[in-house]
Structure 1
Amino acid sequence: MNNDVSSTHRKGVKYALCLLLWFAVSPWALAGEVSKGVTKHDDIPWAEAGGRTLSLDIYQPEAASKAPVVVIYHGGGWLINNESVMDAMSAYLAEHGGYVVANVNYRLLPDNDNTTRMNEIVEDVFGGLLWVKAHIAEYGGDPTRIAVTGDSAGGHLASMVLTRGRALESDGFAGDSLGFNPTWLPAGKTAEQVADDDGLAVQAAVISYGAFDLLAAAQGGFETKGNMFWQFAGAEPRGIFGAAVTVQNQPDYYRAVSPIFNIPQASEYQLPPQFHHVGSIDTTTPPEAVKAYVAKLKAAGQAASVTVYEGNNHAYMDTGCIEALGSCFDTHAVPVLKDILVFLDKNL
């Protein structure tokens, strides 16, 4: 394991994420208006999971027909927030890029009386992407031209699509393989059949200040009171796989949900082009950690780049302003989105 990735991510888990408390309760975090020429289809239910209805929002540009698609997963440490924090980004990509955007919700760890497991979150993300592929043509999108993106925890989940999207099993997260059974599957298809078809393949990925090593995070205190996100979420700290699994006795569980341990060699499987970005003063997912992950991708022969944006802190892709981080979407995200659109236009 790369020491830079491990040590810097532990620091972020312990103290830097607590800066997001202000954002979690700020009225500025509420969804903004839909951009001109873009229709927002709000709260579309796509699955039932653990007694909860999972939904997504679709942003459809006027006259969209077989338009490329961007699927977004929000951040929040897997503990707080919902898709509304990605409203501004969704609207921008639809208005300025002509993309059909699916802004996807997933279960959080505190859901279902604080029993949701990390593998179930991954299964929600996989299921949401499969649902989008099956239905996005109804909203003018092209299911053969899809990019995934996400920020922070959402960047982790988008990276899981790339690195573990072929590890699908009907038995779910069990046995030696620790595979995933997506929350939603196409009619008549099993998880294994979807894997055989490479059904979760996408054509590009934008990873915004992602987290890639949950083993290091757990070793650094993510599952304890030292991670203030549990308090923000109003939940008792616990193991992300339940009480029976700890990072000491079953580290393989944590590796199975950590992209850094699951990068394929390009000779075995070619991942889509990836554009990673991070702020120069981000202490939650520091530039050194993102660079180290991208270096591992390149060492495996995968196409990946990283851009560090000077003066940007964490969570700059989120809607509104975050006073505690000195970040505003219009100031800090829009210049990045212009670069993202160049990348997406080239690869989609």
Structure 2
Amino acid sequence: MNGNRTFLPKLCLWLVLLCGSWSGALLAAENAAGSEVVTGADGVKVHRDLIFATPAGQPLALDIYQPVRPGIRAPMPVLLIFHGGGWLINNKSIMQQMAGYVAAHADIVVVNADYRLLSSNHNTTKLNQIVEDALGATLWVQRNIQHYQGDPARVAVTGDSAGGHLAAMVTLAGQNLSSQGFASRTPGFKPSYLPEGESAESIRAAGGIQVQAAVLSYAVFDLQARAFADFETAKNGFWAMGKASPRGFFGAGINVHSHPELYRALSPLNLIPKAHERQLPPQFVHVGSRDTLTTPDSARQYVEAIDQAGHRSELHIYPGLNHAFLDNDCNEFLGNCFDRDAKAPLDDIIRFLNETFASPRGAVKPKR
């Protein structure tokens, strides 16, 4: 998804083949009691389907992959994952192999979270509300992960494709919080989860929602360009995959021509602050060389903007890989298989996280 009109025919071709009222401690205990807990031979305990928020009556769940091997030094860093799927398809289950791999190969607590889709609540969910779900999941992790031996002061966010967009928004817009939500002309975010007795304004006054690292996997960086490229129309096959009628990201009567500020407010490329204004955490950006949906050029453009603003980043373009190589199992059309294609990038991600969390300022390798 590179903001270029040429992606649409290819997208339509292969889409058919691609597939709070309690305190933090009480909420964690309640969830743990009602969730499935499985300990595997790899030394990872999995807490499945913990509810972290119920926006508009829709329960949102997450899975926690907690390393329990001998020699673990707690508290451990945390990696929070948001799945991809054009904001219209998939759920957290598609990232299970990635989550399990990281937790099995590193002393990192991994959280794999769901969020509302655009098709949720009878096709009325707005994209800004999905960002609010991602912000809410991040805040929940920061307030509750200590119950699973995670360190709330060392949290990284990641996601692939549309999930990469959400991870980027958490990284860049975690200070833009408002109880008014995403009102026209004054876009702000109200996290879907708020701790008891706190508001979006109180979180913002305390510094906002801040993470310590970001891993952006073949992510969407320019929502405004997507809208100009007919993403909100039937030409975007994700609507058919999600069994929803095409519409605007922000609902009827709002489009990129009448309200461009709303689309810019959800475009990570437009939200990068100068380092002297606000220092961003280290970011690991990666994409496959054969990706025509979120192209290497779009990743380079974002990383160049990050560098020019004075922040630290690391760019990897993996030869021969297509879109969605971190998803479970194999996709014959795209030519990806998790066991063959995901492990080398995941090893790079683990190395990046270990280096970043081992140093107060992180460590960033040269780009390649």
Select the structure with the greater relative contact order (CA < 8 A; seq sep ≥ 6).
1
Deviations 1:98-118 (A, max 9, x none): 210110100000000000000
**CA 1:18–1:147: 2 relative to 1, 3 Å:** farther
CA distance in 1, matches of 2:44, 2:308: 41
Q: Give 3-state SS (helix, strand or coil) of 2:207's partner.
A: coil
Letter of the 2:139 partner, please give it.
L
Q: Distance in 2 between matches of 1:5 and 1:233?
A: 21
Deviations 1:301-342 (A, max 9, x none): 111121100000000011111111000111111011111111
Q: Distance in 1 between matches of 2:234 and 2:184?
A: 30
Deviation string 1:241-296 (CA, Å, 9 cap, x unpaired) is 00021111111111111111111010100000001000000000010111011101
Q: Give, in whole Å, the separation in 2 of the partners of 1:177 and 1:345.
A: 38
State how far apart, in whole Å, the 2-side matches of 1:120 and 1:132 are: 18
Amino acid aligned to 1:213? D
SS at match of 2:232: coil
1:274 equivalent to 2:283? Answer: yes
Gap regions ≥5 residues in structure 2: 20-38, 358-368
Indicate whether 1:172 and 2:184 are aligned: no
Instruction: Give CA-to-partner distance per residue, 1:179-220, whole Å, 9 cap, x none.
Output: 000011122111011112224111111100000111110110
CA distance in 2: counterparts of 1:106 and 1:229, whole angstroms? 17
Number of equivalent positions: 335
Per the alignment, residue 133 of structure 1 pairs with 142
Trace 1:279-294 onto structure 2 (pairs within 5 A): 279-294=288-303
Match of 2:261 among 252, 257, 260: 252
Please state how far the C-alpha of 1:12 moved relative to its aligned partner. Answer: 3.0
Partner of 1:228: 237
Query: Which residue in 2 is equivalent to 1:47?
Result: 53
Runs of 4+ in 1 over 6 A off after TM superposition: none
Q: For residues 34 and 236 of structure 1, what CA distance do their matches in structure 2 show?
A: 41
Whole-angstrom CA distance in 2 between matches of 1:13 and 1:73: 24
- Please say if residues 79 and 110 of structure 2, whose CA atoms lie closer than 8 Å, have aligned partners that are also in contact: yes
8 A Cα contact 2:264 2:270, kept in partner: yes
Q: Report sequence identity in percent.
A: 48
Of stretches 195-204 and 66-75 in structure 1, the one that deviates more from structure 2 is 195-204
Aligned: 1:62 with 2:65: no
Alpha-carbon contact 1:130-1:199 (below 8 Å) kept: no
**Post-superposition shift, 1:35?**
6.1
Q: Check 1:57–1:128 CA distance in 2 against 1; reply closer, same or farther (3 A cut).
A: same
Gaps of 5+ in 1: 25-32
Answer whether contact 1:35 1:92 (CA < 8 A) is retained.
no
> For residue 321 of structure 1, what is the amino acid of its counterpart?
C
> Are the counterparts in 2 of residues 14 and 222 from structure 1 also a CA contact under 8 Å?
no
1:181 equivalent among 167, 181, 190? 190
Q: Alpha-carbon deviation of 1:175? A: 4.7
Alignment of 1:88-103 (within 5 A): 88-103=97-112
- Asked if structure 1 preserves the Cα contact closer than 8 Å seen for 2:82 and 2:92, the reply is yes
Residue 262 in 1 paired to residue 257 in 2?
no
Q: Structure 1: how far apart are the matches of 2:9 and 2:179?
A: 36
SS at match of 2:249: coil
**Residue 12 of structure 1 aligns to which amino acid in structure 2?**
F
Q: Structure 2 matches for 1:5-44, cutoff 5 A?
A: 6-7=3-4, 10-16=5-11, 18-24=13-19, 36-44=42-50
CA contact (8 A) 1:163 1:262 kept: yes
The offset of 1:34, in angstroms, is: 5.4
Question: What amino acid is the match of 2:314?
Answer: S
User: Counterpart of 1:78 in 2: which secondary structure?
Assistant: coil
